[in-house]
Amino acid sequence: MSLGRTLGVAVIAAMVLSGCVSTPPAEEYCVPRVTISPVEVRPGDTITVTVESGCDVPMPAGGWVVIAGPVGQLDLAVRTVTEAELVNGFAVTVELPADFPGSEGFAGLDYWDYSGCPDNASCASPVASFRVAQSP
């Protein structure tokens, strides 16, 4: 590498490290934290899906759709709707079907709007996981 190139790389590195060059900050984007209780269940049990407060996101028409299903099997997922305000947080109980497969499960908000997620960010889904034991 030539002396000029080496010097150019060193100058750019110094600018980046000193903050002279930076990427624009990500816009404010809020994804609510979701927890599930209990995290170990059996088919037919009821879980509580809690969506924590803090995100001031308007409720979609028809309410928030809460989904619970086996990972990778959306056709077996169950859904319920709540009209609770997200900014206050809420908890919804979901009864799992008696034929719910023993596997890893997930639950959270379905149809989450990712359109506000900045292009330079990684935006998570508002879901959490739980485990369904095989029926005896």
What pLDDT does residue 13 have?
43
Is 85 contained in some domain? yes
Q: Is the per-residue pLDDT at 23 higher than 80?
A: no
Tens-place pLDDT, residues 40-83: 999 999 999 999 987 888 889 999 999 999 999 999 999 999 99
- What total of structural domains would you count in the chain? 1
Which is more confidently placed, 50 or 4?
50
3-state secondary structure of 83: coil
What pLDDT does residue 126 have?
93
Q: Model confidence at 2, in pLDDT bands (50, 70, 90)?
A: low
Is 2 contained in some domain? no
Q: Model confidence at 136, in pLDDT bands (50, 70, 90)?
A: low
Is 1 contained in some domain? no
Residue 42's domain spans which residues? 26-132
Q: Is the per-residue pLDDT at 7 higher than 80?
A: no
CA distances to 43, 49, 65, 66, 123 from 92, rounded to whole Å, are 18, 5, 10, 8, 23
What pLDDT does residue 24 have?
41
CATH number of the domain where residue 100 is located = 2.60.40.1930
Is 74 contained in some domain? yes
Is 114 contained in some domain? yes
Average pLDDT score over the chain: 81
Contact between residue 106 and residue 15 where contact means Cβ atoms under 8 Å apart: no
Is 123 contained in some domain? yes
